[in-house]
Amino acid sequence: MLYKYCYKRLASNSETLKYLIAQHKMYQFLVIVTLFTFATSSVILADKEWTLFKATYGKNYPSLEEENYRKNIFNENLKKIKLHNEKAMRGEHSFQLGITKFADLTIDEMEMPELEVEPQPIDFKFHHKSYFKAPESVDWRSKGILTGVKNQGKCPSCWAFTGAATIEAAYAKAKGVLVNLSVQDILDCAPKSKGCTPGYVSTGYQYAMSKGLRLDECYPYESHDDSFGQKACKVNSGCGRIKIKDFVFIPKGNENALRDAVAEHVVAGYIYASLHDFKFYKGGIYSNPDCRKDKITHLVPIVGYGTENGTPYWIIKNSWGEHWGENGYGRILRGNNTCGIALYSSSYPRI
């Protein structure tokens, strides 16, 4: 009887063991299938993102080898963007990132040349009425004096775009007429311009004072794909010109003075814009302690300021197209010289 009992017990345990082994194998199989499915889905999603990126920004590469190289960089940048946004969801960042035209570039390739200090007249001054009190917030976008967001392409022409944009705003504010001015006119024809190379916003201002700027419809932008050099100045006597009276510098290192100026004008400002998270900026208030305050690489029109949930910010109009930032605009932390926005003297034109 004991023998039969032990035999049955052993047989029962054996069946149980077989069942458990089978269940474990099934679990391993399901884990492998799940991981494979997830990996496959991630690859498919990344491929879709890559295809959309190329179509959106008109990306073409000279060889399959170059495209694969750029695709790998894109995938690495995509991982950084997603990781940042996960942290932003947890409140660790005040801004969000997304795919922009820079997504196939390395960190080194995103670095922009440092801009030289703009020369200023010895007797430059910034005046405002003694009783002037800047409002809590200003957004020139709501006043109808800004033209659409532009895209400078590969040409380092931010200084010319910024000069044209601030003159457009000053003219619209003074005359009540919105015009698109020719950036190409500044690049090709301003006496001190070197074309698609970093320059001074005052180069455009001085040209607008002496000759006036032509309209964009008469002299459209052609330097999207140029990384350097100057084109020959074209003669077009049938095109009208917009002139300015002069331009004013704002004391450097003084964000209160800058605020007072932006309260009444669209101002040309300097910033450091080479960090990858600035290149991928999509929304929110940009703030990164690594954004340099002692080096400048970009010029933008400052078109307003405000406060959101107790955090003060500047509003900038970029020249990197509407896919960057908040439809081409960005908000930067105000009051801490973020990205060197108050390092140099900003300026604005007067009609």
Q: Is residue 3 part of a domain?
A: no
Angle at the Cα of 15 from the Cα atoms of 12 and 20, rounded to 5 degrees: 125
Helix (H, G, I), strand (E, B) or coil at 211: coil
- Res 270 pLDDT > 60: yes
Final residue of a domain: which of 36, 71, 90?
90
| Residue closest to 159 by CA, chosen among 113, 211, 105 | 113
Of 93, 196, 265, 318, which residue is the catalytic one? 318
Final residue of a domain: which of 30, 60, 90?
90
Is 158 a residue of the active site? yes
pLDDT of res. 196: 92
216: phi then psi, degrees, rounded to nearest 5: -60, -35
Q: Please tell me the total number of residues recorded for the chain in this structure.
A: 351
CB 234 within 8 A of CB 188: yes
Final residue of a domain: which of 90, 121, 144?
90
Q: Which position has the token pair 């003297």? A: 345
Is 75 a residue of the active site? no
* 106 and 81 in a common domain: no
Give the pLDDT band of residue 81 (cuts 50, 70, 90).
Answer: very high
* 217 and 139 in a common domain: yes
Domains held by the chain: number: 2
Of 84, 265, 276, 298, which residue is the catalytic one? 298
Read off the tokens for 261: 């100026």
Q: What's the CATH number where 345 sits? A: 3.90.70.10
pLDDT of res. 238: 77
* 44 and 193 in a common domain: no
Q: What is the dihedral angle through the alpha carbons of 175, 177, 179, 181, rounded to the nearest 10 degrees? A: 0
CB 249 within 8 A of CB 345: yes
Average pLDDT over residues 184-202: 94
**66/336 Cα distance (integer angstroms):** 41
Q: Is residue 1 part of a domain?
A: no
- State the distance between the two ends of the chain, measured CA to CA, in whole angstroms: 113
Is 318 a residue of the active site? yes
Give the pLDDT band of residue 283 (cuts 50, 70, 90).
Answer: very high
pTM for this model (two decimals): 0.86
Of 77, 155, 158, 196, which residue is the catalytic one? 158
Q: Range of 51's domain?
A: 15-90
CB atoms near residue 121 (< 10 Å): 9
